[in-house]
A = this chain, B = another copy of it.
Amino acid sequence: MKAIVHVQLKPGVLDPQGQAIAGALASLGYDEVTGARQGKVIELELSGTDHALARERVEAMCGQLLANMVIEQFSVEILD
C-alpha cells in the first residue's frame, strides 16, 4: 500500500517560500501568476492491506510528526 500525505500551510500563515516563488516567476515575465503557495507531499510505502487501518495510522503520523498543527493542515490518500 501507499499513502500520499499532503501538508499545506493553514490559510493566514505566512509562506516565505510561496512568496519567493511568486516573486521569481513575476521577474521571469509570468505576469499571470497572482500568487503562489508551497506545500509538501510525502509518499509513504506501507506494509499491510487494510486501508481503513492504514488511514487511521497515517493520520496519527501526521498529527505526531508529519505536520505541525500550529501552522499546517494535512490530507491523506491511501492507494494500493
**Within 8 Å CB of A57, what residues of B?**
30, 32
Q: Which residues of B contact A47 (CB under 8 A)?
A: 31-32, 34
Nearest chain B CB to A35's CB is how many angstroms away?
Answer: 4
* Complex contacts, A28 vs chain B, CB 8 Å: 61, 64-65
Q: Is A45 an interface residue (CB 8 A)?
A: yes
Within the assembled complex, what's the spacing in Å between the Cα atoms of A14 and B25? 27
* A77 on interface, CB distance cutoff 8 Å: no
- Residues B39 and A43 in contact, CB atoms below 8 Å apart: yes
Assess whether A68 is interfacial by the CB under 8 Å rule.
Answer: no
Cβ–Cβ contact A65 & B35, under 8 A: no
In the complex the two chains form, what is the Cα distance from A27 to B53 in whole Å? 19
